[in-house]
A and B are shown apart, each in its own frame.
Chain A
């Protein structure tokens, strides 16, 4: 098992390395000077030379990359091109905000997605199944920004029951955090609940018709126990993969949701950096976001072993 974990860890580090090369080379894809693009045409040659020296842009590319990675390993992501802000501090303040929205989304989507998936599979063909499955089918095609606008229109502007923008940290005032984060979390969860529902339903349908489930029923085990202890346990393995993959999409979706609800998270920071072409912030955001997704996938891989003894066996 130790060998397997080390192998997976090495793979994750390799992926992070490749992402760092991608993030770094972004600035060098286009011909032209990133400093000039960021500061505009009216800046004097001396200022540009000064900036180039300050950000090591006058050095060879390989050395620039080396310096950048060295800085990151020392916990220093560099400085913002436009405002001179410390990027590490920016990330440290913004990442917890994105997490405070993202983690409830994962939990809520997993719970409701699995629940709806089980219900639709067990009640296959009834009106409950048809209603939930139809909503789930549509849910996958609904753009996050549109569902957010619809919720703002309905809950914020028509019913006046929920705030339409802003954010309070859970450590500051938990009640207010729940109140403020309710709509963003709801909007982000919608699509994921739909995806997880569909996946759970199709896995459950496959499992429910297998012999051991019939045997369990024949032995007189209660229906609830058959569904949850025998069938669901086996249906969950592909669902865990989907949940692991969703983390990536939830982080991506935070870009949209943070913008609409005016939440000061890492997604909003990234969009600001993209519109202002602040490459050092873009690089850092891309790297940190992929660290989160790769980390989650690593955990999901280990979870397989916990859920499925067959996987654990293959690790040896």
Chain B
């Protein structure tokens, strides 16, 4: 463990910074109600699009809402949707990947071709279309982002299971009469853990990006809930007078997505350097 942490933090200052950003994001998301100076959804129409001031540290938006508070609450939505979507896709993907890889044959073909079909549709379009069919709202966003991320897990788990299911210890397990489910969960799954953790971390960034883009396009979480994507979109009309309204939430998205990617890279090197170039 100590050695792994050393590998992670020895990758340079960037890994350290990104790790801090991720920790900060979680902290902000959890404690948003305590940290936010104002209620993010209270309009103050006498103070619309005001610049930086003592009362509103990052100014106010077109309805006079406090931008800082909305950014803090936006972190909450981003993290919440991407963790739920990530968990959903991980559970589904691991299950389908294990089954496809272990049982092979027609089951494998069916699952893998469905995966190809999902991958044939661009992720953003898939989530947009599915979310609109499911009727909008946080839950449908989570489900659609989750389903669009499933193929990455299926492919990875399937590949790993295919390569280790011929190992002697799996054959031995079968010979002493272990049930399939026990071999799957106790012997094959743990071998996939390092890559799963890495993939999950990277998918969190991907999920945040998808959620932000959907909110930006107005197909995501409904207003007045504060989301970073919607904030960029709302601020667009005031680009000449108050460019920060659009630019600040965008910077938050970049920082968080890059941080998850870099932390994912670091985890990969620390947990299993052989995955380099594969994930």
Contact = CB atoms under 8 A, between A and B. Distances in A.
Contacts of B246: 146, 149, 153
Contact of A146 (B117, B133, B232): B232
Contacts of B232: 143, 145-146, 149
Interface string A191-216: 00000000000100010000000000
Nearest to B218: A275
B7 interface: no
Nearest to B219: A274
B157 to A, nearest CB: 20
Interface string A141-157: 11111100110110001
B219 A153 contact: no
Contacts of A297: 120
B117 A15 contact: yes
Given A255-B124, A259-B217, A270-B128, A14 B253 contact: no
Interface in B194-227: 205, 209, 212-213, 216-219
A290 B123 CA distance: 11
For B129, B130, B247, which residue has the most chain A Cβ atoms within 10 angstroms? B129
B132 interface: yes
For A27, A248, A256, which residue has the most chain B Cβ atoms within 10 angstroms? A248
A254 to B, nearest CB: 9
B230 to A, nearest CB: 11
A256 B105 CA distance: 40
Given A255-B217, A274-B132, A141 B250 contact: no
Interface string A250-293: 01110110010000000000110011010000100110011001
Given A18-B114, A146-B254, A157-B239, A27 B122 contact: no
B213 A143 contact: yes
Interface in B114-155: 114, 116-125, 128-130, 132-135
Contacts of B124: 249, 252-253, 255-256
A277 B213 contact: no
Contacts of B277: 202, 206
B219 A290 contact: no
Contact of B217 (A16, A206, A256, A277): A256
Interface in A12-67: 14-16, 18-19, 22-23, 26-27, 29-30
B96 interface: no
A294 interface: yes
Given A18-B114, A286-B125, A137 B258 contact: yes
Nearest to B114: A18
Nearest to B251: A146
Contact of A141 (B14, B120, B122, B261): B261
Contact of B129 (A26, A137, A140, A249): A26
Given A140-B261, A289-B125, A145 B213 contact: yes
For B117, B219, B233, B255, which residue has the most chain A Cβ atoms within 10 angstroms? B117
B104 interface: no
Given A15-B113, A137-B262, A145-B213, A274 B128 contact: yes
B113 A14 contact: yes
B239 A141 contact: no
B163 interface: no
Given A30-B135, A138-B254, A293 B216 contact: no
Interface in B40-81: none
27 contacts: A16-B120, A22-B121, A29-B134, A138-B258, A140-B261, A141-B256, A143-B212, A143-B216, A145-B229, A145-B232, A145-B233, A146-B232, A146-B247, A146-B250, A248-B120, A248-B123, A249-B122, A249-B124, A256-B124, A259-B217, A270-B125, A274-B129, A282-B129, A282-B132, A285-B125, A289-B125, A293-B121
Given A19-B117, A270-B128, 10 more contacts: A11-B116, A14-B113, A15-B113, A18-B113, A29-B133, A143-B209, A153-B243, A206-B277, A253-B122, A275-B218
Interface of B: 14, 113-114, 116-125, 128-130, 132-135, 205, 209, 212-213, 216-219, 229, 232-233, 236, 239-240, 243, 246-247, 250, 253-258, 261-262, 277
